[in-house]
Structure 1
């Protein structure tokens, strides 16, 4: 029986087994390749998406266990209208190699939805599960602070 998922506001059906990780449904079945495969054991954060607004590691979440709407990096903003977090990432030129950045952005967006004005310690704690091989952590923290300030202006 097909499984229906709402991803970025659109309903999709998949015939894949319920134990297939959400990551592979997003990338291989739906063609949403912004979510990256990193480690496959939920330790690096490259595959972070939102399910019902909660940041989750899609490489370890079976598609049958998805409990709410899924938002990927493609659904966070558009090229013409970046989200506050995406715009701050560009402003601070956070990305170096860029591989981890969709997961970093999704984690930061979930943090700011929960804590609109996080301290440095709260940012560090929330972001610690997202690894950046290039070490752009100071720029990530600065971008989160900038996004927080921009979100208050709206």
Structure 2
């Protein structure tokens, strides 16, 4: 039996199974990350869908980091030059609706800039085809 290094006691079979499961999942995650890095789609970008519930309008937004942006503080923040026009458009839309009735859904994270832009365009096209009111018109 395996010994638990913290308490000096022997780990139960259930604890050993749990540890084994965690190790397998970690190995799968690391393999997936390595494959995505090798394919060039790994990075620090995330994309999300911001929906204005009362009107049904949607804004597909890409940002750096995994944490979803705080919509309340977003108007006061600066953004990267690459996405400055998109950021300005989002802030204008948020302020137009007086910052009320918005919901953000995280769609993907840990993407490269290129992959985030590709997925953003795909989601925009999908919504337009379905007749959803899309606020942003980002050029790939």
Fold equivalence (TM over 0.5): no
Which category describes the TM-score, using the shorter chain as reference length? under 0.3
TM-score of the aligned structures, taking structure 1 as reference length: 0.26
Higher relative strand content? 2
Higher relative contact order (CA 8 A, sep 6+): 2
More helix by share: 2
Superposition TM-score, scaled by structure 2 size: 0.28
